Structure 1
Amino acid sequence: MTAIHHAAAQGFSTQADAYARGRPDYPAALADWLRGTLGLAPGQVAVDLGAGTGKFTRLLASTGASVIAVEPVDAMRAQLSSKLPDVQALPGSAESMPLPDASVDAVVCAQAFHWFANEAALREIGRVLKPGGRLGLIWNVRDESLPWVAQLTAIMTPYEGDAPRFYKGDWKKVFPAEGFGPLALTTLPYTHDGHPEQVIVDRIMSVSFIAALPAAEQDAVRARLHAVIADDPTLRGHDTVSFPYSTEAYCCARL
């Protein structure tokens, strides 16, 4: 299996529980996008590539398509299998999927493609897709127009190092890609509602390069997150807070 980035390998292994608790789900309207834009329906096969703990897998399965989850991190894949025992979960990477040629109707990457946006991964995705099959790329993007959300980014940024990040846009450099049509974007609003310890603290602590920090530095980050919650008047004293996102869903077809 192709080696994965050290931040993902270490951080996602040690903080799989926090990832499962703190990562947001996806807007209900995204199910319509999966059916309409990706064309998923009963009788078809979809791969959830970089499936993690299965946050997106359940929505993918709601289309009626058969879902195969491919995830390289054992701890993440164990979380997925414990929650979704009926989903086939396989070890594998974007550059090496244990699947036959032209065997699936869609490959979908939720919160994942920036980790493996390279020509080898696109060749492998093209290999397993049937002609006319679809590649879907999905991210929940934080709405930093709110001051407290911008503060969270400011806390995280000094630690990111060389970890691939969606917002940098480097993943787009592999497009246009040989064997694929143009990317089309759909944007959907989404809000993650819940206790601040879950939707803010667990969410940030599950970020790969934060989760990979030594314990003392993780404690320092956690303290700064609690300070944001205590200081912001829209968060302070609330048992339920709303974390705003914009869900970006991209699609392109295998030619």
Structure 2
Amino acid sequence: MAVAGPEIARVLAPGGILAGLWNVMDDQVEWVAGLARVSGSPAIGPRDTPANWRTETADMHLPKTGAAARFGSPEQAEFPHGQHRTAGSLVATLATLAGMLVMPEEEREATLGRIRTYLADRPETAHGEFTLPMLTSVLRVRRL
């Protein structure tokens, strides 16, 4: 927002609304929270689960100084949904997250191995297709 904020504030008319959407895994579900713990923060980043998204997103994207001070208080909401997955498809997706891509190869393979083992041991995910609990998290703010 430090770079984009002044430009957004310049082009967005007063009273206009800026909104952002993030799809995150619902870590309020116990097995998803366990997946995040097993994966570690470099693998599943700060905006990949709602507990982290709630605490970091508004301040990160809408700081209270500079150009961003031209925006009102942010509103946040979450909308639940699910994705049909298999353990293999979930591991393949997690392997593409930025935190995973920048890991050294040995660390990445160890992390993916922990994730595979975790998913194989969970009754929710061990047998075929399952629904991955997700939330679409929305941040909305009005231009002052």
Is TM more than 0.5 here?
yes
Query: How far does the alpha carbon of each residue in 1:147-168 deviate from its partner, in whole angstroms, 9 at most, with x for none?
Result: 33122211332536xxx72316
Give me the CA root mean square deviation.
2.5
Superposition deviation, residue 144 in structure 1: 2.1
The one of the two structures with greater contact order (alpha-carbon pairs below 8 A, sep at least 6) is 2
For residue 195 of structure 1, the aligned residue among 86, 94, 107 is: 86
The answer (yes or no) to whether the contact 1:193–1:241 under 8 Å persists in 2 is yes
Structure-2 separation of matches of 1:131 and 1:172: 20
Whether the aligned pair in 2 keeps the contact of 1:148 and 1:228 (CA below 8 Å) is no
Partner of 2:132: 243
Specify the alignment match of 1:225 in structure 2: 115
State TM-score, norm by structure 1.
0.46
Kindly tell me the number of residue pairs found equivalent between the two proteins. Answer: 134
Counterpart AA for 1:172? A
Q: Which residue of 2 aligns with 1:205?
A: 95
Residue 58 of structure 2: aligned partner: 172
Secondary structure, aligned partner of 1:150:
helix
Q: Which amino acid aligns with 1:190?
A: H
| TM alignment of 1:16-31, pairs within 5 A | none
- For residue 229 of structure 1, what is the amino acid of its counterpart? L
Pair 187,170 (structure 1): closer, same or farther in 2 beyond 3 Å: closer
% identity of equivalent residues: 26
Q: Which 5+ residue runs of structure 2 have no aligned equivalent? A: none
Match of 1:91 in 2: none
Offset of 1:136 from its aligned partner? 0.5
Residues 156 and 210, structure 1, Cα contact 8 Å, conserved in 2: no
For 1:86-108, what per-residue CA distance to the aligned partner results, in whole angstroms no more than 9, with x for missing partners? xxxxxxxxxxxxxxxxxxxxxxx
Aligned equivalents of 2:39 and 2:113: distance in 1?
13
